[in-house]
Amino acid sequence: MCDASGTAIGTVQIENARTRVTEWRFKKCGDNTGWHRHDYDYVVVPLFDGALEIRLPDGEVITAPMQNGVPYFRELGMEHDVLSANDFECAFIEIEFLEARRNDT
């Protein structure tokens, strides 16, 4: 994630020319990543069962159910803020692909 300034704690675990892996930890309900836009495609792997709330610039809030260990993929894109909707500490691993896609021919 880029230029996030929220209350969730982001810890980069791996970073090289191709990949960045960050753990995002939310200590309490309402902790957030801060508004950001992904510059790269990415995968998120939740480390909990529960939900996150995704706030969009138009004011829409999407509740996203999470299942421990079940990843999801997103392409680079729209600005958003991610908030914990849980009454317990939770975290997810974010894996960003820092290289552009190759055309397989």
Range of the domain at 40: 9-97
- Residue 66 falls within a domain, yes or no? yes
- Residue 83 falls within a domain, yes or no? yes
CB burial of residue 60 (10 Å; 0-12, 13-18, 19+): exposed
Query: What's the whole-model pTM score?
Result: 0.88
Look at the chain and report how many structural domains it folds into: 1
Q: Is 21 within 8 Å of 98 (Cβ atoms)?
A: no
Q: Which residues, 6+ apart, have CB-to-CB distance to 24 below 8 Å?
A: 1, 8, 9, 10, 33, 82, 91, 92, 93, 94
- Residue 37 falls within a domain, yes or no? yes
Residue 103: pLDDT band (50, 70, 90) is: low
For 1-28, the pLDDT digits (tens) are: 344 569 999 999 999 999 999 999 999 9
For 26-44, the pLDDT digits (tens) are: 999 999 999 999 999 999 9
- Residue 31 falls within a domain, yes or no? yes
Domain CATH number, residue 60: 2.60.120.10
